Structure 1
Amino acid sequence: MTTEQIAVRLPESLLSELDELVDSGAYRSRAAAVRAGIETIAELKRRQLVDQSIVDGYERCPPTEAEDQAAWNSLKASILEEPW
């Protein structure tokens, strides 16, 4: 895997929080913590795009009344099956 180094300037307060994460053992290094943050942002964006694709699909082709009723019936049945 090819990697590239980047530089990031952080305010002292955020740098202090970053160092606390490293000192507590949550991350091996500052770089590992920053990498994890960027990976999380990227994953959140991917999920957002998938969510929007699902919404777009339902808007293009909404469920029929029969499909809605089947979903409600399934929901009710699953609730009744619970051993409350």
Structure 2
Amino acid sequence: MTTVAVRLPDELVQRVDQLVTQGRYTTRTEAVRTALVQLTDDAERAEIDRAIVEGYRRCPPPEPTEADEARAERSIAVEPW
């Protein structure tokens, strides 16, 4: 495991400490690690989303036909919502 030293504003550290005091995290380290995992996961999801959108721009799906819409309506009608 790697140690990373960062400088943070006092107010931010106080807010993290409040989360620890409230029991949402056991330590500052856990809180920061959780935030960084969320940050990197969000960035990865955003990249995947961009790739999907780009794929649809390059190869858009065909317009649905009346038969497609009828099948969709039948599928929705049989769902036990």
- Which TM-score bucket, shorter chain as reference? 0.7 to 0.9
Distance 1:49 1:12 in 2: 32
- Specify the code of the residue in structure 2 equivalent to 1:9: R
* Unaligned runs of at least 5 residues, structure 2: none
Q: Percent identity?
A: 38
Structure 1: which 4+ aligned runs deviate by more than 2 Å?
80-84
Query: TM-score, normalization: structure 2?
Result: 0.81
Report how far residue 22 of structure 1 moved.
0.6
Query: TM-score, normalization: structure 1?
Result: 0.78
- Specify the code of the residue in structure 2 equivalent to 1:31: T
Q: 1:4-43, aligned counterparts within 5 Å?
A: 4-43=2-41
**RMSD (CA atoms):** 1.8
* Unaligned runs of at least 5 residues, structure 1: none
Aligned length: 77
